[in-house]
């Protein structure tokens, strides 16, 4: 039996939690133009609120480099156009 306390998500605490699309803090402090700080949901028309593949609230187009190659065994990673996150860093052996 665990002793961890599980609390419900709290909108406005700057932590992305279950059920939230974004959490930029309180409405007074939010600096993210894509996020509705009162609801922790993306504003209408926004696809994303943060990430290496998110620009001006939209997914960066497919093929845009988001992580440079570090060597010939580590190819660059590119945005998919379907996610705000850069794909996992994959190296070849």
Annotated binding site: 10, 13, 15, 17, 20, 23, 74-75, 77, 89-90
What distance in Å separates the CA atoms of residue 2 and residue 38, rounded to the nearest whole number?
33
Question: Which positions make up the binding site for Ca(2+)?
Answer: 10, 13, 15, 17, 20, 23, 74-75, 77, 89-90
Contacts (Cβ under 8 Å, ≥6 apart) of 17: 9, 10, 23
Do the beta carbons of residue 19 and residue 42 sit within 8 Å? no
Token pair in block for residue 61 = 């187009």
Do the beta carbons of residue 55 and residue 46 sit within 8 Å? no
């Amino acid at each position: 039996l665990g002793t961890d306390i599980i609390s419900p998500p709290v909108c406005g605490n700057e932590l992305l939690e279950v059920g939230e699309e974004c959490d930029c803090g309180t409405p007074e402090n939010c600096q993210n133009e894509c996020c509705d700080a009162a609801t922790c949901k993306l504003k209408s028309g926004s696809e994303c609120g943060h990430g290496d593949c998110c620009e001006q609230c939209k997914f960066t187009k497919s093929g845009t480099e988001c992580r440079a190659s570090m060597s010939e065994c580590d190819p660059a990673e590119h945005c998919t156009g379907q996610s705000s996150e850069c794909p996992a860093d994959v190296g070849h052996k």
